[in-house]
Structure formats: structure tokens, C-alpha cells
């Protein structure tokens, strides 16, 4: 093995051993740092070097766990879809005991609540130009699970009359409200969390009233 390659291998091994000895989960630290960077400055500010700088590691350290910037984004988006799917599933599970209207309200709150809690990740979850799903099978599967919960809600509310058109209407409502709350005029009109939550509950009730007329 050439001396340069041998030296590089020894350096990587030493870093891994140091990380293990300190008990630090560098991979998770990189993801947490990237998530914070997305929330604070957006995807344009995220680079392998900046993530490394903020995480307090060498600029090569992230490459031990992620091949490139898009791989970090894909991991964050995959986790985002997984969490969104879990939240929607919990809402849908209310239907047997609380009724379909309660499930509809809870599902809307779950979707929009996720977006407000994770704005940086939410902004890129539906942008294939930033993170191409075809490169990452786990991402596609996580997205499919979240969408399946949306379709499940439509079946809960509409039964045999459920269809793709109704699913798109549901999605347009929650996604549109989320975008208005994060980056749109509602973000300025409703500056406090209390004001946002009050408005979301009011709009949610009105949307549910409209939807229930179609059942």
C-alpha cells in the first residue's frame, strides 16, 4: 500500500477510535447539526464543510458517514417522513373510539404540527431537485408510508367513495396551511404560537365541516 494511502487509513482509524472512546455518536451529531442549520439558514447554507465546522470536527469527518451533502439531506428527509407517518397513524387510530371527524381534525393538526416543529426539513421533503428520491430507496419507502396514512384517512372518512381527488384536496389543505404558517403571510400575521394554534383549530373545524358534507 502506498505511504500516503496507509497514512490516510491510519488517520481514519484513529478518528473512529477517538469517537468511540469518547462515546460520541458522530453520525447523529452530524444529522442534528444539519437539521439545526436547515431550520436557521435553509438548505442553501448547508454544506459538508459548514456541518463539520458547526459540529466541531475536521472537514473530512462527515464523509466517514455520508458520501455527500445529498446523503445527509436524504437521511433527514427519511426521518421526517417516518415521523410524519407516525403522527398521522396516531391521528387515524382515533377513528374507532372518537369518530371520523375527530380523526380528520387530529390528522390536520398532526401534519401542520410536524411542519411547524421541523420547518427546515419540511421545506425540502417535497423537493426532488434538492434530494432526489430515486437515489434513496429508504426515502421513497418512508414517503410512501406517510402518503398511505393520508389515503387511509380518506377511506376512514369517505369509505367506498374515497378517491385520489379527495386525497389531493386533503393534502392541499394541510400542506397549504403549513406553508402559509412557515413562510407565507400567516407567519407574519400570527407571530405567536398561541395565535397560530387558535387559527389552526378554527380553520380545521371549518374544513372538517365542509368535508363532512361530502360523506
The pTM (predicted TM-score) of the whole model is 0.86
Helical residues (DSSP H) of the chain, grouped into ranges? 3-22, 26-41, 48-55, 69-92, 95-98, 100-117, 119-124, 137-158, 164-182, 185-189, 193-212
* 55 shares its domain with 82: no
In a shared domain, residues 102 and 34: no
Residues 44 and 107 in one domain: no
Number of domains in the chain: 2
* Chosen domain end from 30, 47, 64: 64
Task: Residue 129: give its domain's CATH number.
Answer: 1.10.357.10
Domain end, chosen from 16, 37, 64, is at 64
pLDDT, average across residues 78-91: 98
Query: Which tens digits make up the pLDDT trace of 171-182?
Result: 999 999 999 999
Whether 40 and 102 have beta carbons less than 8 Å apart is answered as no
Based on the fold, state whether residues 30 and 75 are members of the same structural domain: no
Cell numbers placing 129? 431537485
CA 206 to chain centre: 26
Q: What is the mean pLDDT of the chain?
A: 90
Cα separations in angstroms, 2 against 5, 12, 15, 16 = 5, 16, 20, 21
Q: Are residues 44 and 105 in the same domain?
A: no
The CATH number assigned to the domain holding 45 equals 1.10.10.60
> Same structural domain for residues 58 and 153?
no
Mean pLDDT of 37-49: 94
Note whether 88 and 194 are same-domain residues.
Answer: yes
- Looking at the structure, tell me whether residues 92 and 162 fall in a common domain: yes
Residues 108 and 18 in one domain: no
Same domain, residue pair 75 and 53: no
User: Domain boundary residue among 64, 98, 116?
Assistant: 64
Q: Which domain holds residue 203?
A: 69-212
Asked if pLDDT for residue 145 goes beyond 90, the answer is yes
Residues 75, 59 share a domain: no
pLDDT tens digits, 191-214: 899 999 999 999 999 999 999 998
Write the pLDDT tens digit of every residue in 87-129. Answer: 999 999 999 999 999 999 999 999 999 999 999 999 999 999 9
**Predicted confidence band of residue 4 (pLDDT cuts 50, 70, 90):** very low
Both 95 and 177 in one domain: the answer is: yes
Amino acid at each position: 500500500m502506498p505511504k500516503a494511502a496507509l497514512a490516510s487509513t491510519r488517520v481514519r482509524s484513529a478518528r473512529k477510535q477517538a469517537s468511540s472512546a469518547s462515546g460520541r455518536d458522530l453520525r447523529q451529531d452530524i444529522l442534528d447539526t444539519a437539521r439545526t442549520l436547515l431550520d436557521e439558514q435553509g438548505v442553501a447554507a448547508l454544506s459538508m464543510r459548514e456541518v463539520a465546522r458547526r459540529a466541531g470536527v475536521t472537514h473530512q469527518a462527515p464523509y466517514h458517514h455520508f458520501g455527500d451533502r445529498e446523503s445527509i439531506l436524504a437521511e433527514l428527509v427519511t426521518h421526517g417522513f417516518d415521523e410524519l407517518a407516525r403522527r398521522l397513524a396516531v391521528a387515524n387510530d382515533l377513528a374507532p373510539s372518537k369518530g371520523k371527524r375527530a380523526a380528520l381534525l387530529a390528522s390536520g393538526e398532526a401534519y401542520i404540527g410536524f411542519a411547524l416543529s421541523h420547518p427546515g426539513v419540511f421545506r425540502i421533503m417535497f423537493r426532488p431537485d434538492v434530494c432526489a428520491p430515486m437515489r434513496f430507496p429508504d426515502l421513497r419507502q418512508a414517503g410512501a408510508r406517510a402518503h398511505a396514512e393520508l389515503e387511509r384517512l380518506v377511506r376512514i372518512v369517505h369509505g367506498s367513495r374515497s378517491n385520489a381527488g379527495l386525497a389531493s384536496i386533503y393534502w392541499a389543505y394541510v400542506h397549504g396551511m403549513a406553508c402559509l404558517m412557515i413562510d407565507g403571510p400567516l407567519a407574519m400575521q400570527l407571530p405567536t404560537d398561541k395565535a397560530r394554534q387558535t387559527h389552526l383549530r378554527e380553520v380545521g373545524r371549518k374544513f372538517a365541516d365542509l368535508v363532512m358534507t361530502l360523506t
